[in-house]
Structure 1
Amino acid sequence: MAPPCGNFSTFQESLWPILAAQFPPALLANGWALSHLLTRRRSWHGGSIFSFHLLLTGTFYSLSLPLLVGYYYPPKDWPYGRVLCKLERFFFTSNLYGGIFFVTSISITRFLGVVYPLRSHGRIQTRHVHLLSLGIWVLVLGISAPTLIYSQLEEVGGVRECWGSATPGKLGEFYPYSLSLAGVGCVLPFLINLSCYSLVIRVVFRNPRLDPREKHKVGMLVGTGLVLFAFSYLPYHLFRNLNLGRRLLGAQELDCGVSKVIHSMAQVSKVLVNLNICLQPLLYAALGDKLRSCCRSRRGNGPHQGEVVAQEVYPVAQELLPVAQDQDVVAQELPPVAQELLPMAQELPMVAQELPPVAPVAQELLPVAQELLPVAQELPLVAPRQDDVVAQDHLPVAQEHLPLAQELYPVDQEIHPVAQLPLVAQDPDVVAQELLPVAQEVHSVAQEIHPVSRGGLGVSRDGASTTAPMDSVGWAKTLNHQVQPSKPA
């Protein structure tokens, strides 16, 4: 079935010289950049790894150009069979979006290295970048796999046409898939690139240590990358989906003039994508490290002193980087302990100032300690106390008098007030007055108990008893005279 607006193959046939001219530069540029990266790169960082994969996508993409040149060569025809038709579309799609994703990864790496150099240094290691690159390849192959189903070889008007999108019968299924590819594979990466490079430009142009020439170089590198992305990938996805949308319209709704312009712009945008493949090796691989060098401060014609020192220190820093990363892990575990010990450490100087100097005192006591050491060694471990020896000698006597003491304890409790008399015995009259009632009671009891006591009881000065009668007062005075302590002569 012939298209409603006729065949647009004439414009495609006019593009084969341009495609043929783009193939050698694309292949040579990507091959040279790969060899340059593999032979002269001593250390691989995130940007160099992403650049390596970007060059791989460019190399594979450029290898599909000869088939496209042969297809567009007039008269337009695909003589290579169905399998190569599907593989050519698959390689074109996968390497197209692989290049877009790796360009976006390079932009993110430059953004982190310029805007957040300290935070990103050491956190993103090479194994992380390799895993991320592997994930990008898996994603790219996954989103490009439907092209193996929709790409078909069909004969229209005696011409074998390799549909890069889908046949008219499956175009309704392919169109949503194409729109999703445009959103995920082009619009979103472009916004990420625009955001990253805008922040890079902001940081670079606010750096007072960079002169205007260095800032201009950074601006040119960043601006060229954004311009290439905007004028190659964006137009291709825009006109490609417009062309697919016009194919879905009916014959009555089509404007053949507009359809021809849209189809021609779609072919031109594909040529711009090929041009981008030729320039990417120069921009992202060969000149990729220039962005770092532009951020170094230079004064005059010679190198800045800080740059000279950095060049000398760089090899040492590379060797110490693994050790520093291990120390960083330990340092992250220490802050809680350090915070607990900090108050104690702050109090130690104050305590040390309050303590007297120990060294002079120790030096003075050392000779005395050396003299006392032999004496201490000769002494027994436990020397018996003299009080303990005396107590052990009197223990049998105390045990013998214990029953008598238990019998006398009640009597002692009764006569305890009288036992205080020697303290006041200095005054006989006072003692006599206090003992008079007691003497009277004792006398009356004695008369009742013993008949002899009626005649009186007398006690001589030398202790001999008398039978002379004595009243109570006289008896008390005599008793007081006996208990009174004798005065010294």
Structure 2
Amino acid sequence: MRATATTTSGPTRCPANFSAAADHILSGFQDFLWPMLVAVFLVALAGNSLALYRFCTQEHRPWHPAVIFSAQLAVSDLLYALTLPPLAAYFYPPKHWRYGEAACRLERFLFTCNLLGSVIFISCISLNRYLGIVHPFFTHSQLRPKHAWAISAAGWALAALLAAPTLSFSHLSEPRQKGKCTVDRPDACIKCLGTADDNQLEAYRVYSLALVALGCGLPLLLSLVTYGALGQAVQQSHGMTAANKLRVMVLVASGIALYASSYVPYYVTGVLNVYARQRWRALCPGFASVDQAKAALGWRTYVAHQITRGLVSLAICVHPLLYMAVVPSLYCCRRRCPGCGQGQAPENVEYSGQALPLNVTATPKTSGPQSRVEPVTWPIFRPPPHHETL
């Protein structure tokens, strides 16, 4: 939607001096971002590189689905971290993009794509954790590494598809003044727009709502449903110790807290910021002075969105903790079928995954004219001997 106001003489654009004053004020709220992005880059690069190194050198092949999804999350976070140095250099005063139009569009695309990839693979991990604990028979017999690789490929394709519109929305904003870009002369600097200009603002609002629904709301709903069912199954289990129950509930709470503290605020404040920008642009032609234009700015929404930008970047530093929670469980939470009966798994079959001990009712075993259901309590998994493989 063109940021204009309709008068008797037709559309009127927002005066350039009002827009320049607003941009100068709002850019000042981004000064804290560049040191945060540098710190996040260093921590995320080290943590995710170490996680990938561990997967490649210490995990037996073929990888378990939980390892595959965790590795995809590590790759996504690592690629996301690599987009932060040019962004930090851009936010370092004076705010100036030095790398050209193509790099601007590509950086915004990779930033959005890998952010969406992180959300998607966190959802895959939560779903896999739920299946491994609540439906271990199904997980072992149906979910193979090839299925996890196929799901991962679909996740990458979905992330790229959802991020593709940023290639159209993002572009350079040429300086309003000639001369050298300095802190005192921000109008002489080149801006890399991460959202859209005034002519595309309505289309970008629709796109932001789609991202909230598909890139945040749907994965959040999936994670809440799976974690809720997982927590209920764990609490009702009589075959788990209190320590194991606490461990699972901590994993559940950490997954929900990660969404609540980073992804959800980031996407929601992004949409609210677009609405605030639309309102200000619609009012702009009617402002009587620069001071009135400044007073009408929705700067609180803008500042909230900038804070959530920092929080969502910090999330990729927390993800390696998820790897440590998932992968060790493949060893310390492994279990065997205690016996072989009709309808049960073979004796030498191991159930590897994130499963924790739950009471499972065995298939009815027939002896004589009547059948009786024998309850089987699964023991806590024991680490395998050294000669056994995953």
Greater displacement, 269-278 / 40-49: 40-49
- The 3 A distance-change label for structure 1 pair 288 and 257 is farther
The alpha carbon displacement at 1:106 in A equals: 0.9
1:27 to 45, 52, 62: 45
Tell me if 1:123 matches 2:142. yes
Tell me if 1:235 matches 2:265. yes
Identity of aligned residues (%): 34
The alpha carbon displacement at 1:315 in A equals: 12
The alpha carbon displacement at 1:150 in A equals: 1.1
Tell me if 1:135 matches 2:151. no
Give the Cα separation in 1 of the matches to 2:170 and 2:153. Answer: 26
Give the number of equivalent residue pairs: 310
Q: What is the one-letter code of the residue matched to 1:181?
A: L
- 3-state SS in 2 of match to 1:122: helix
Tell me if structure 1 keeps the 8 A contact 2:338–2:347.
Answer: no
Q: Going by fraction, where is strand more abundant, 1 or 2?
A: 2
Give the Cα separation in 2 of the matches to 1:136 and 1:269. Answer: 24
Tell me if structure 2 keeps the 8 A contact 1:104–1:189.
Answer: yes
Tell me if structure 1 keeps the 8 A contact 2:33–2:91.
Answer: yes
Which residue is 1:276 aligned to? Answer: 315
Which residue is 1:359 aligned to? Answer: none
Give the Cα separation in 2 of the matches to 1:243 and 1:219. Answer: 35
Tell me if 1:75 matches 2:94. yes
Residues 446-457 of structure 1 aligned to structure 2 (within 5 Å): none
The alpha carbon displacement at 1:211 in A equals: 2.2
- The 3 A distance-change label for structure 1 pair 223 and 258 is farther
Tell me if 1:261 matches 2:280. no
The alpha carbon displacement at 1:239 in A equals: 0.7
- The 3 A distance-change label for structure 1 pair 177 and 308 is closer
- 3-state SS in 2 of match to 1:166: coil
Which residue is 1:442 aligned to? Answer: none
Give the Cα separation in 2 of the matches to 1:120 and 1:256. Answer: 58
- 3-state SS in 2 of match to 1:287: helix
Give the Cα separation in 2 of the matches to 1:130 and 1:208. Answer: 34
- The 3 A distance-change label for structure 1 pair 196 and 292 is farther
Tell me if structure 2 keeps the 8 A contact 1:30–1:59.
Answer: yes
Q: Which of the pair has the greater relative contact order for Cα pairs under 8 Å at 6+ separation?
A: 2
The alpha carbon displacement at 1:52 in A equals: 0.9
Q: 1:409-449: per-residue Cα shift (whole Å, max 9, x none)?
A: xxxxxxxxxxxxxxxxxxxxxxxxxxxxxxxxxxxxxxxxx
Tell me if 1:222 matches 2:248. no
Tell me if 1:57 matches 2:76. yes
- 3-state SS in 2 of match to 1:209: coil
Tell me if structure 1 keeps the 8 A contact 2:22–2:297.
Answer: no
Give the Cα separation in 1 of the matches to 2:23 and 2:117. Answer: 35
Which residue is 2:183 aligned to? Answer: none
Residues 71-110 of structure 1 aligned to structure 2 (within 5 Å): 71-110=90-129
Tell me if structure 1 keeps the 8 A contact 2:336–2:347.
Answer: no
The alpha carbon displacement at 1:308 in A equals: 12
Tell me if structure 1 keeps the 8 A contact 2:336–2:350.
Answer: no
- 3-state SS in 1 of match to 2:237: coil
- 3-state SS in 2 of match to 1:221: helix
- 3-state SS in 1 of match to 2:173: strand
Which residue is 2:218 aligned to? Answer: 188
Tell me if structure 2 keeps the 8 A contact 1:194–1:226.
Answer: yes
- The 3 A distance-change label for structure 1 pair 20 and 224 is same
RMSD: 2.9
Tell me if structure 1 keeps the 8 A contact 2:337–2:348.
Answer: no
Give the Cα separation in 1 of the matches to 2:267 and 2:128. Answer: 25
Residues 134-213 of structure 1 aligned to structure 2 (within 5 Å): 134-156=153-175, 157-213=187-243
Q: What is the one-letter code of the residue matched to 1:276?
A: A
Give the Cα separation in 2 of the matches to 1:75 and 1:116. Answer: 55
The alpha carbon displacement at 1:289 in A equals: 3.3
Q: Going by fraction, where is helix more abundant, 1 or 2?
A: 1
Q: 1:33-82: per-residue Cα shift (whole Å, max 9, x none)?
A: 00011111114121111111111100000001101110110111111111
Give the Cα separation in 1 of the matches to 2:64 and 2:106. Answer: 33
Give the Cα separation in 1 of the matches to 2:174 and 2:106. Answer: 18
Which residue is 2:324 aligned to? Answer: 286
The alpha carbon displacement at 1:5 in A equals: 3.6
Tell me if 1:9 matches 2:65. no
Tell me if 1:244 matches 2:274. yes
- The 3 A distance-change label for structure 1 pair 308 and 173 is closer
Give the Cα separation in 2 of the matches to 1:69 and 1:165. Answer: 17
- 3-state SS in 2 of match to 1:153: strand
The alpha carbon displacement at 1:117 in A equals: 1.2
Kindly name which structure, 1 or 2, has the bigger radius of gyration based on alpha carbons.
1
The alpha carbon displacement at 1:295 in A equals: 5.9
Q: 1:322-349: per-residue Cα shift (whole Å, max 9, x none)?
A: xxxxxxxxxxxxxxxxxxxx9xxx9xxx
Tell me if structure 2 keeps the 8 A contact 1:218–1:291.
Answer: no
Q: 1:267-323: per-residue Cα shift (whole Å, max 9, x none)?
A: 11111111101110221x222135567767xxxxxxxxx88999xxx995369xxxx
User: Structure 2 length as normaliser, TM-score?
Assistant: 0.73
Give the Cα separation in 1 of the matches to 2:146 and 2:328. Answer: 24
Give the Cα separation in 1 of the matches to 2:110 and 2:23. Answer: 29
Q: 1:353-396: per-residue Cα shift (whole Å, max 9, x none)?
A: xxxxxxxxxxxxxxxxxxxxxxxxxxxxxxxxxxxxxxxxxxxx
User: Structure 1 length as normaliser, TM-score?
Assistant: 0.59
Give the Cα separation in 2 of the matches to 1:81 and 1:39. Answer: 39
Greater displacement, 102-111 / 149-158: 149-158
Residues 248-397 of structure 1 aligned to structure 2 (within 5 Å): 248-249=278-279, 250-251=282-283, 256=295, 259-283=298-322, 285-290=323-328, 317=349
Tell me if structure 2 keeps the 8 A contact 1:50–1:133.
Answer: yes
The alpha carbon displacement at 1:234 in A equals: 0.2
Which residue is 2:130 aligned to? Answer: 111
Segments of structure 1 that go 5 or more residues without pairing to the other structure are 297-305, 320-341, 347-489
Give the Cα separation in 1 of the matches to 2:237 and 2:249. Answer: 13
